């Protein structure tokens, strides 16, 4: 139960959901890329990614001065389903493009 609450809390922020939308492709993404796409400054983006990492949703790898994040390959099917549902809700909220 506690793990689920940590994950739901991590998903409760639009910036973190936006980052997951990018990372969910399974590839590594540099924090600089996330900053650019999500229009966030480095300290803010790092804090958001730290929350996702502590929740076990993403893993990171240092590459010289950059940190690269990717989807945690060890996530359970239940956690993946929760995150998939949260990301799907983003598309539903945006509605059809006009």
Domain annotation for the chain: domains and CATH numbers: 2-92 (1.10.10.10)
Q: pLDDT digit string (tens) for 26-69?
A: 999 999 999 999 999 999 999 999 999 999 999 999 988 889 99
Estimate to the nearest angstrom the gap between the alpha carbon of 74 and the chain centroid: 15
**Three-state SS for 85?**
helix
If one counts every other C-beta atom within 10 angstroms of the C-beta of residue 63, the result is: 10
Instruction: Report which of 85, 79, 83, 57 is spatially closest to residue 70, judged by C-alpha positions.
Output: 57
The model's pTM: 0.88
């Amino acid at each position: 139960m506690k793990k689920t609450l940590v994950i739901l809390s991590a998903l409760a922020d639009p910036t973190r959901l936006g980052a997951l939308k990018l990372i969910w492709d399974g590839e590594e993404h540099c924090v600089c890329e996330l900053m650019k796409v999500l229009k966030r400054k480095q300290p803010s983006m790092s804090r958001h990614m730290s929350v996702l990492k502590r929740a076990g949703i993403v893993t990171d790898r240092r590459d010289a001065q950059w940190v690269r994040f990717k989807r945690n390959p060890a996530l359970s099917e239940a956690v993946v389903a929760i995150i998939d549902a949260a990301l799907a809700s983003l598309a539903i909220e945006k509605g059809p493009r006009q």
